[in-house]
């Protein structure tokens, strides 16, 4: 889908030039004069605003007031673009300010970056609203506390200056040292990288920082010589989060750092929300164990993890005896307490490589990879004893005796089975025609024998 850019400028020739450049880059462009009513043009991904010679702050404030409700970032183009005017416009709410005569390559690179930022912010807001509707909202993250900044290259004076005017801790590393293994023992909150006298430092350092998994979320601001805009373009192409000319004053750098850290906080919150969503999708909310869906996907994925060699595994099904009577006599709250306690006891008696899931109301499944029949039977007996060896005490001080019936079956993944599966979605359930269907049916049959044979016992499939 084409990204939509709104170009606002009092001078018609400027609007035509910017529109032609953006349309060549396949953006959908609308142009208006500063004096026109732009309140109806809020549906855009980016606003490019040409600033007048006088009162640039008032103009951008007026534009932002008319665009109330939109999340589109504003990129200003200023014919004068002095450090003081740049600071004034940034404070007024612009996302960035570039000289009107900025080379086309740099202008388009900044447009792309700001549109991506705007999309990320809107997505974060959508997820925040969705999470709040499910009761999972969290307080907005803030970098009001002390953050750790790492200045790289010819920025040796900057840490002291930043430490004097911000609450953050800033340290300096020479460009040649930053990639040493001990240089970043603590992951910083942001990097400030000087572009130096050419693209070499950028091409060496910036991709390396971006490629390291633990540093990937850390924003990087590149300080470039104002007379070398091609370095700024190169930095953005390599993944820089922000760019700033070396003529910028300390206040502008401080403001850009604050906004960069705020965006990082928002991205971190979105990432935590994703992780929480994954946990909710994969776990049982009562016991905290994996749920049935996750267990089935895990079972189907065992073939992929076999790496072409045969693997023996065991499947254990555990069903609590007479659990309906617990709910009928003591209430569902007591029943929930029993399930939570049993889950803890089962988990405490398993290896780190074993997987346990709550498979039904009072039924649990344990998958034991690379386990012999003798080991599986011994572990099943241990689990049975862990459930029944002492009563469960509820919050109402009731003592509830719990026992479990267990069925065990063994299976084997042959080398050729890995070819039967290529992803997690092509075998949605292990009850489908998969290598594990017969193993599950055998364990279920053994569980039935344990139930009919007197309960509180382990039965092993003869298959």
Condensed to tens digits (0 to 9), the pLDDT of residues 436-446 reads 788 899 999 99
CA distance 299 to 432: 12
Q: Quick one: the chain helix, strand, coil %, rounded to 5? A: 45, 20, 35
In this prediction, residue 159 has a pLDDT band, given cuts at 50, 70 and 90, of very high
Mean pLDDT for 133-147 is 59
Vertex 228: Cα angle to 158 and 52 (nearest 5): 90
- Indicate if the pLDDT at residue 133 is higher than 70: no
**Would you please indicate which residues are annotated as catalytic (active-site) residues?**
362
Condensed to tens digits (0 to 9), the pLDDT of residues 227-260 reads 999 999 999 999 999 999 999 999 999 999 999 9
Condensed to tens digits (0 to 9), the pLDDT of residues 361-383 reads 999 999 998 888 899 999 999 99
Q: How many CA atoms lie within 13 A of 12 on its CB side?
A: 0
Question: What is the sign, positive or negative, of the torsion defined by CA atoms of 295, 299, 301, 305?
Answer: positive
- In this prediction, residue 422 carries a pLDDT of 36
In this prediction, residue 76 has a pLDDT band, given cuts at 50, 70 and 90, of very high
Mean pLDDT for 116-139 is 71
397-417: burial string, b at 16+ Cβ within 10 Å, e else:
ebebebebbbbbbbbebeeeb
Compute, in degrees rounded to 10, the torsion defined by CA atoms 183, 187, 191, 196: 20
Vertex 236: Cα angle to 233 and 240 (nearest 5): 140
Which residues of 176-263 form beta strands (DSSP E)? 190-194, 220-224, 242-245
Condensed to tens digits (0 to 9), the pLDDT of residues 311-367 reads 788 999 999 999 999 999 999 999 999 999 999 999 999 988 889 999 889 999 999
Mean pLDDT of the chain: 86
Tokens 């069903």 belong to residue = 319
pLDDT, greater one: 80 or 34? 80
Condensed to tens digits (0 to 9), the pLDDT of residues 16-75 reads 999 999 999 999 999 999 878 776 677 899 999 999 988 888 888 888 888 877 778 999
Mean pLDDT for 141-146 is 59
* DSSP 3-state of 44: coil
End-to-end CA distance of the chain: 56
pTM above 0.85, yes or no: no
Percentage of the chain modeled with pLDDT above 70: 87
Alpha-carbon distances of 334 from 177, 357, 394, 397, rounded to whole Å: 60, 21, 6, 10
Condensed to tens digits (0 to 9), the pLDDT of residues 404-433 reads 999 999 988 765 544 444 333 443 444 454
CA distance 410 to 442: 8
- In this prediction, residue 126 carries a pLDDT of 73
pLDDT, greater one: 363 or 301? 363
- In this prediction, residue 130 carries a pLDDT of 64
Mean pLDDT for 286-293 is 90
- In this prediction, residue 149 carries a pLDDT of 95
- In this prediction, residue 351 carries a pLDDT of 86
- In this prediction, residue 419 carries a pLDDT of 43
- In this prediction, residue 308 carries a pLDDT of 55
70: left (phi over 0), alpha (psi -120 to 50) or beta: beta
Does an H or E element contain 240, and which? none
Count of Cβ atoms closer than 10 Å to residue 455 Cβ? 14
């Amino acid at each position: 889908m084409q990204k939509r850019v709104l170009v606002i400028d009092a001078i018609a020739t400027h609007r035509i030039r910017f529109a032609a450049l953006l349309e060549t880059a396949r953006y959908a462009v609308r142009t208006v004069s500063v004096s026109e009513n732009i309140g109806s043009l809020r549906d855009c991904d980016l606003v490019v605003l040409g600033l007048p010679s006088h009162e640039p702050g008032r103009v951008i404030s007026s534009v932002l007031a008319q665009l109330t409700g939109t999340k589109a970032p504003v990129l200003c183009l200023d014919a004068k673009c002095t450090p003081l005017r740049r600071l004034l416009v940034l404070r007024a709410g612009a996302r960035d300010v570039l000289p009107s005569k900025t080379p086309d390559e740099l202008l388009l690179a900044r447009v792309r970056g700001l549109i991506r930022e705007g999309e990320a912010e809107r997505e974060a807001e959508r997820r925040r609203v969705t999470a709040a509707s499910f009761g999972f909202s969290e307080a907005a993250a803030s970098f009001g506390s002390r953050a750790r900044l790492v200045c790289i290259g010819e920025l040796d004076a900057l840490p002291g200056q930043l430490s004097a005017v911000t609450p953050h801790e800033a340290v300096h590393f020479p460009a040649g040292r930053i990639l040493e293994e001990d240089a970043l023992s603590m992951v910083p909150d942001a990097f400030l990288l000087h572009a130096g006298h050419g693209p070499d430092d950028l091409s060496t350092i910036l991709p390396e920082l971006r490629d390291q998994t633990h540093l990937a979320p850390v924003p990087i601001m590149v300080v470039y010589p104002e007379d070398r805009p091609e370095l700024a373009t190169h930095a953005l192409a390599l993944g820089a989060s922000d760019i700033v000319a070396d003529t910028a004053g300390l206040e502008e750098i401080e403001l850009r750092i604050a906004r960069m850290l705020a965006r990082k906080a928002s991205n971190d919150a979105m990432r935590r929300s994703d992780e929480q969503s994954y946990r909710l999708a994969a776990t049982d909310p009562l016991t905290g164990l994996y749920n049935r869906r996750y267990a089935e996907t895990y079972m189907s994925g065992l073939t992929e993890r076999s790496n072409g060699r045969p693997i023996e595994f065991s499947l254990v099904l555990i069903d609590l005896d007479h659990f309906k009577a617990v709910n009928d006599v003591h209430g569902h709250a007591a029943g929930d307490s029993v399930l939570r306690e049993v889950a803890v006891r089962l988990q405490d008696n398993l290896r780190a490589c074993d997987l346990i899931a709550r498979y039904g109301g009072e039924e649990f499944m344990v998958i034991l990879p690379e386990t012999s029949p003798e080991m599986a039977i011994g572990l099943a007996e241990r689990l049975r004893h862990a459930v029944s060896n002492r009563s469960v005490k509820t919050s109402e001080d009731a003592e509830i005796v719990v026992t479990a019936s267990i069925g065990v079956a063994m299976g084997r993944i042959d080398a050729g089975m890995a070819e039967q599966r290529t992803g997690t979605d092509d075998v949605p359930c292990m009850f489908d025609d998969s290598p594990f269907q017969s193993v599950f049916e055998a364990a279920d049959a053994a569980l039935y024998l344990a139930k009919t044979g007197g309960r509180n016992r382990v039965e092993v499939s003869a298959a």
